[in-house]
Amino acid sequence: MFGHDFYVTRDVTYHVKEYACRHCQKQLTTNSSGNLIELTPKFKEINDVLERIHYKRHKKSRSQIHSNLLVFKH
């Protein structure tokens, strides 16, 4: 990736991110192996689904922790 200056444009999950180059606007994402690959419409759609699942699980987990804390306080 010589000559590019990539920055994170979106945190999809803790491990999956989307990147763009400040110079040429080339977009990349991480694949299932953790390697950087070009962000195609297919991978953009996959990232959208991953983000939605990750958000729901994170929200549910926080809700359960909050519920458990309320039980222990009483």
What is d(CA 10, CA 8) in angstroms, rounded to the nearest whole number?
A: 6
Model pLDDT, residue 32 = 86
pTM to 2 decimals? 0.74
Average pLDDT, the chain: 87
Confidence bin at 35 (pLDDT 50/70/90): very high
Confidence bin at 23 (pLDDT 50/70/90): very high
In the predicted structure, residue 73 carries a pLDDT above the cut 60: no
What is d(CA 14, CA 26) in angstroms, rounded to the nearest whole number?
A: 22
In the predicted structure, residue 1 carries a pLDDT above the cut 70: no
Give the residue, 6 or 62, on which the prediction is more confident.
6
Q: Which two tokens stand for residue 32?
A: 């299932």
